[in-house]
Amino acid sequence: MTKQEPLSTLRPQRKIRDGIHVAKVSLAHGGGGKAMRDLIDDVFVQAFDNPALAPLEDQARFALSDLARHGDRLAFTSDSFVVDPLEFPGGDIGKLAICGTVNDLAVGGAKPLYLSCSVIIEEGVDVAFLRKIAASMAKTAAAAGVAIVTGDTKVVTKGACDKLFINTAGIGIIRSGMDLGAHRAEPGDAVLVNGLLGDHGAAILAARGDLRLTTAIESDCAPLNGLIDALIEACPQVKFMRDATRGGLATVLNEIAEASGIGIEIEERKTPLREEVKGFCEILGLDPLYLANEGKIVAVVPGHLAEVARAAMAAHPLGRDSAIIGHVLQGPAGRVVMQTHFGGKRIVDMLVGEQLPRIC
Amino acid sequence: MCLGIPGQITAISDAGRKLAMVDVSGVKREVNIACIIGDRAIEDCIGDWVLVHVGFAMSVIDEAQAAETLRILIELGEAQQEIAAMRTSGRA
Amino acid sequence: MQYVDEFRDPDKAASLIAAINELIQKLAISRDKPLHIMEVCGGHTHAIFRYGISNMLPPEIEFVHGPGCPVCVLPMGRVDDCVAIAETPGVIFTTFGDAMRVPGSKKSLLQAKADGADIRMVYSPLDALALARDNPDREVVFFGLGFETTAPSTAFTVLQAEAEGLTNFSLFCNHITIIPTMRAILQSPELRIDGFLGPGHVSMVIGTKVYEFIAAHYKKPLVVAGFEPLDVLQSVWLVLKQIAEGRAEIENQYGRIVPPDGNKAALAAITRVFETRDFFEWRGLGSIEHSGVRMREAYVRFDAERKFAIPSLQVEDPKACECGEVLKGLIKPWQCKVFGTTCTPQTPLGALMVSSEGACAAYYQYGDLEGLRDRRAADAA
């Protein structure tokens, strides 16, 4: 889309501005004056380059008729990203900010179209680093087929934020006839995931460095709208999807069990985990079911379509390790149980707080 | 209490401080091996499977003992199968 | 994972369960008077819940979850001391993740961190030492807790600090010892325990001979057990075999890790750095004679207890708490008046709700399916 209307053809609408020539962001870049315009133009507009953004009005504008081509309801979501560290194996805060919002739209059965990007920058951050993050956002947005059409930039004093926070909001259009919901699970339904769990959580914990563990584990951070399209096409009867981010698989399963008033039983044997993630969790005494993911969804489909749904996801590059991990039961309502590989059963409850590494 | 996990010593990272790299399913961590060197040269610890607790190798895993524990369990299973087979044939 | 996966094999589990059932029948144990087996160690409690072991076993066997969770038994007063040290200007306070949530009388370390104290979670005391090296202008304190498994690691860390001539590292020593604690439990007149699963990782340090008095004097079987689920099941089976054959002995199921004499280097480091305290205060169990260690005079410059002005106040456990009764196996967690009401993992009152190793937290979090069913039945009645 950006190719037909390069920025140069739009630029003459506005005064041509200087680029940004300093190495670090200062408070002046948030002051509303020329320095701020330069930062926005040079770092963000350059990277996000698209017709809706280029005029730099206070709002992006869309024709309703264009939106209505995709479905009959609007989906609207917002998410803030404060990940530490800002760069990690498999991604960075920019990629995460696009994937998170795209996925939040897609799991509702919506086609993600437009995103906003608001950044809060701590003074002193390298401009080169911001460029890198903006480029990462642009690349991820292009991969997901969405455009970043509006945004905002604030610069705060040293210590008022941790280097860089990003908020993205997103608009998508829900396909006609799709009605997904956590309340729709019924006994006999199957529960699926699209691959190996816990990679993001483990990668982030390791990347922070304070545990001094070295691993090759990379974040699974990815836009899942393509995979979800494939799933919906093969299995339009899908009842619910959610991306298993903070709180991991266990939290999403509990949310479904609670909202639908049903029980869920999963099998440890069928729950896909990478050997390294298992090792990582053994060392720190963590439970991988609670580790965050940024490229994994939990899907509930009618039992007889489980294999159809699995095969559709498995055919997508982001779903190669897709698995049917469990089933919905009559009860006990609100309870998630895991059949352990060893032969026992245990309750998989919600976590109280953040999972902390333990020694005992 | 006392989370411990088997890992294999892959390299000596700091002989003076008795530190070595241990590999647990591809995850690597530097650990202190003062408790398991014994009378050996520190390099001889490379390849050892050890039990790691809070960054310290606390015990060298005894392979023969591990095999023995499993052997007992396999025999137990076989004995039960024989008894079950005897019961079935007795009934038939 | 080598030495892990093979000890999680479901087929071998089935054989062990069958063998255990056979012994239960032979012993003619009734369901109304089940056998009580105490797993001393919180790691076993965790394994029992994580793998769903208790509901694989026949109802004639009940686990009594012992005091071997060093985080759970940490009294409030000591947490208050930690907070006081952590809030001292210039201090970087380092701790294992487990201890972050343990409530003090006013706040936990997690809350103190939120209030601005520089508290860092570390995986190893070695990482605290590295922080001391990297921050020569700050005083780095490591919160040492745990039984004999963990004590060698902090002892070696202090010895390393001494060798490097570091002056900005100290240890807040809260190490406890297993034998006096087991003795205290065994001496309890109301005790109803038929056998013990001994703590595998403590034993790799202290060996197995130190438990002889339990068999000789108290006539209870004890099997030193590993932490994989097959280890736990096999150890239960060995305890039952002893009972069935009228024996009370110390056996070692965890031979691949635990040598009979323990670990000489580890014991030597403990002895060099630490000495026994007359008494140490436990959450839920009160004061136990000789159950803790402190740093020897020779290492006073690494002793946070003497380096800092700490309040050192004794704070009583909340009155409603029945942790002591649960620890002795007199009541089940859910029979406690405050379980799941005023005492939850979010707002723990008692020791056993504090860490996920604690029996109450484990019941609350993972649930014991049978137990909870019983509890619901009792509630309904």
List chain C pLDDT tens, one digit each, 381 residues: 899 999 999 999 999 999 999 999 999 888 888 999 999 998 998 899 889 898 899 999 999 888 888 888 888 899 999 999 999 999 999 999 989 988 888 999 999 999 999 999 999 999 999 999 999 999 999 999 999 999 999 999 999 999 999 999 999 999 999 999 999 889 888 888 999 999 999 999 999 999 999 999 999 999 999 999 999 999 999 999 999 999 999 999 999 999 999 999 999 999 999 999 999 988 888 889 999 999 999 999 999 999 998 888 888 878 888 887 887 777 888 888 899 888 888 888 877 887 766 788 877 776 654 455 454 445 444
Residue C352 domain flag: yes
CB-CB contact of C291 with C297 (8 Å)? no
CB contact under 8 A, C357 and A358: yes
Contacts of A280 in chain B (CB under 8 A): 25, 27
- Select the residue from B1, B13, B25 to test the A interface by mutation, using most A Cβ atoms within 10 A: B25
- Total domain count for chain C? 2
Residue C61 domain flag: no
Cis peptide bond upstream of C152, omega within 30: no
Looking at C281, C307, C333, the residue that finishes a domain is C307
The predicted-structure confidence for B4-62, as pLDDT tens digits, reads as follows 999 999 999 999 999 999 999 999 999 999 999 999 999 999 999 999 999 999 999 99
Residue C257 domain flag: no
Residue C93 domain flag: yes
CB pairs under 8 A between A and C: 107
| End-to-end Cα distance, chain A | 55
CA distance A210 to C323: 34
Cis peptide bond upstream of A85, omega within 30: yes
Which amino acid, one-letter code, is at C115?
Answer: D
Distance of CA A198 to the CA centre of its chain: 14
Check the CA dihedral A202-A205-A207-A212 and report its sign: negative
CA distance C298 to C7: 44
- Select the residue from C1, C2, C202 to test the B interface by mutation, using most B Cβ atoms within 10 A: C2
pTM: 0.92
Which amino acid, one-letter code, is at C232?
Answer: V
Interface subset of B 13-72, CB within 8 angstroms of C = 17, 24-25, 29-32, 34-38, 49, 51, 53-56, 58-59, 61-63, 65-66, 68-70, 72
Query: Which residue do the tokens 């997508």 mark?
Result: A316
Q: Is the pLDDT higher at C355 or at A34?
A: A34
What mean pLDDT do residues A145-167 have?
A: 94
pLDDT score at A7: 38
CB contact under 8 A, C345 and A352: yes
Q: What number of residues does chain A have? A: 360
Dihedral over alpha carbons A208, A211, A212, A218 (to 10 degrees): -50
CA distance C343 to C337: 9
The verdict on C344 and C289 lying in the same domain is no
pLDDT score at A4: 38
| Phi, psi dihedrals of residue C270, rounded to the nearest 5° | -60, -50
CB-CB contact of C69 with C357 (8 Å)? yes
pLDDT score at C251: 98
Looking at C275, C307, C339, the residue that finishes a domain is C307
> How far is the alpha carbon of B41 from chain A, nearest alpha carbon, in Å?
26
Radius of gyration of chain B (CA): 20
CB contact under 8 A, B59 and C204: yes
The verdict on C88 and C161 lying in the same domain is yes
The verdict on C294 and C342 lying in the same domain is no
The predicted-structure confidence for A223-250, as pLDDT tens digits, reads as follows 999 999 999 999 999 999 999 999 999 9
CB-CB contact of B47 with B8 (8 Å)? yes
Question: Residue A209's closest chain B neighbor by CA?
Answer: B29
Q: Does C369 touch chain A (CB under 8 A)?
A: yes
Flag whether pLDDT at A2 surpasses 50. Answer: no
pLDDT score at A13: 43
What domains are defined for chain A?
Answer: 16-174 (3.30.1330.10), 182-347 (3.90.650.10)
CB contact under 8 A, B2 and A360: yes
Flag whether pLDDT at A162 surpasses 50. Answer: yes
Contacts of C152 in chain B (CB under 8 A): 35, 56, 58
pLDDT score at B16: 94
Q: Is C148 exposed, middle or buried (0-12, 13-18, 19+ CB in 10 A)?
A: buried
> How far is the alpha carbon of A214 from chain B, nearest alpha carbon, in Å?
5
Which amino acid, one-letter code, is at A202?
Answer: A
CA distance C325 to C285: 9
Residue C239 domain flag: no
pLDDT score at A8: 36
User: How many CB atoms are located within 10 Å of the residue C296 CB?
Assistant: 14
CA distance C371 to C331: 12
Q: Does B77 touch chain C (CB under 8 A)?
A: yes
The verdict on C266 and C375 lying in the same domain is no
CA distance C159 to C299: 9
Interface subset of A 193-232, CB within 8 angstroms of C = 210-213
CA distance A140 to A47: 11
The CATH number of the domain where C98 resides is what? 3.40.50.11740
The verdict on C163 and C273 lying in the same domain is yes
Q: The complex's ipTM?
A: 0.93
CB pairs under 8 A between A and B: 44
Query: From residue C232, how far is each of A73, A244, B61, C181 by CA, in Å?
Result: 55, 33, 18, 21
Radius of gyration of chain C (CA): 21
The verdict on C82 and C173 lying in the same domain is yes
The predicted-structure confidence for A48-98, as pLDDT tens digits, reads as follows 988 777 677 788 888 899 899 999 999 999 999 999 999 999 999 999 999
The verdict on C269 and C368 lying in the same domain is no
Residue C302 domain flag: yes
CB contact under 8 A, A340 and C98: no
For Cα atoms A276, A281, A282, give the angle at the middle one, nearest 5 degrees. 95
Which residues touch C70 (CB under 8 Å, ≥6 apart)?
A360, B1, C42, C145, C146, C147, C150, C174, C176
The verdict on C298 and C344 lying in the same domain is no
Nearest to C14 among A275, A338, A343 (CB): A343
CA atoms within 13 A on the CB side of C228: 25
* Ramachandran assignment for A307, one of left (phi > 0), alpha (psi -120 to 50 degrees), beta (any other): alpha
Which SS3 state, helix, strand or coil, does residue A310 take?
A: helix
pLDDT score at A227: 98
Residue C365 domain flag: yes
CA distance A348 to A338: 6
CB contact under 8 A, A359 and C127: no
The verdict on C110 and C135 lying in the same domain is yes
Q: Does C285 touch chain B (CB under 8 A)?
A: no
Q: Which domain holds residue C92?
A: 76-178+262-307
Helix axes C264-273, C151-164, angle to 10 degrees: 70
Flag whether pLDDT at B92 surpasses 60. Answer: no
Query: Which residue do the tokens 């054959």 mark?
Result: C245
Lowest mean pLDDT among A1-5, A96-100, A202-206: A1-5
Contacts of C121 in chain A (CB under 8 A): 210, 356-357
Looking at C307, C341, C371, the residue that finishes a domain is C307
The verdict on C366 and C266 lying in the same domain is no
Query: Which residue do the tokens 């070696």 mark?
Result: C156
CB contact under 8 A, B26 and A216: yes
Residue C292 domain flag: yes
The verdict on C291 and C353 lying in the same domain is no
> How far is the alpha carbon of B64 from chain A, nearest alpha carbon, in Å?
24
CB-CB contact of A81 with A133 (8 Å)? no
CB contact under 8 A, B62 and C266: no
The verdict on C288 and C363 lying in the same domain is no
